[in-house]
Amino acid sequence: MKVAENIIALLLMLVTIQACQTNNVNHKGSAGHVSSGEELILKGRVSVPLPESYEKLLLDEYALIITAPEYTVVYRWIDQKEVEFIGSNKSPYHFFESVFNNPVSDVEQRFLEGLKDEVYQPNSPGNLEFYYFNNGDGRQIYILSKSLSFVVEVTHKGDGDKYINSVITHSKLQ
């Protein structure tokens, strides 16, 4: 009986060890290179290219952070509550569209003055609008659409030119 109990205990231990086994995924690649099928969908509505090379993904209520040795990307979604906290009653789209094109209120002007560089608006494919600027350590881009109840902010710290260009080229509404 003792031998049978030892065999059962050994089998249970082997099953437990097998269940705890993990596979290490190699996330090596270029942060600027994007292939089809590698996308990140934010709030179920906005698809942006996912960097190929990363070590960690950290998810928060209002943000996703992707880290690698050579860069960090922070994706934030700014909703109506946050815009109201900033001090505006406008929708997120109308607030940021006004900030980047024709700031009229003190809140909009202060927000624009807080940016570290000139804001650029590239030609936008589809029904998304993009506004980006250098933020000292990298680049920051805002993604707007009239059909969204939020605005996406992507901050890339590191050499972000290729990735930001990829975001502009490959992002789309779902």
Q: What is the pLDDT of residue 1?
A: 60
Which residues have a Cβ under 8 Å from the Cβ of 104 and sit 6 or more positions away? 98
Q: Residue 82 belongs to a domain with what CATH number?
A: 3.40.1000
Contact 132, 140 (CB under 8 A): yes
Beta-bridge partner residues of 54? none
Check residue 131 and give its pLDDT: 92
Question: 3-state SS of the chain: helix, strand, coil percent to 5?
Answer: 30, 30, 40
The answer to whether 148 and 46 are in contact (CB under 8 A) is yes
In this structure, are residues 122 and 37 in contact, taking their beta carbons and an 8 Å threshold?
no
The range of the structural domain enclosing residue 79 comes to: 2-173
User: What is the total count of domains within the chain?
Assistant: 1
pTM (predicted TM-score):
0.74
Cα(157)–Cα(154) distance, integer angstroms? 10
**Both tokens assigned to 49:** 């290219």
pLDDT given at position 65 = 92
Residues 52, 67, 61, 127: is their CA dihedral positive or negative?
A: negative
Of 160, 158, 111, 143, nearest in space to 47 by CA: 143
Residue 169 token pair = 């080229």
The pLDDT assigned to 32 comes to 41
pLDDT at 141: 92
User: From the first residue on, what is the mean pLDDT of each consecutive set of 10 residues in the chain (174 residues)?
Assistant: 55 42 37 53 89 84 88 92 93 94 90 80 82 84 94 86 85 89
CA 87 to chain centre: 24
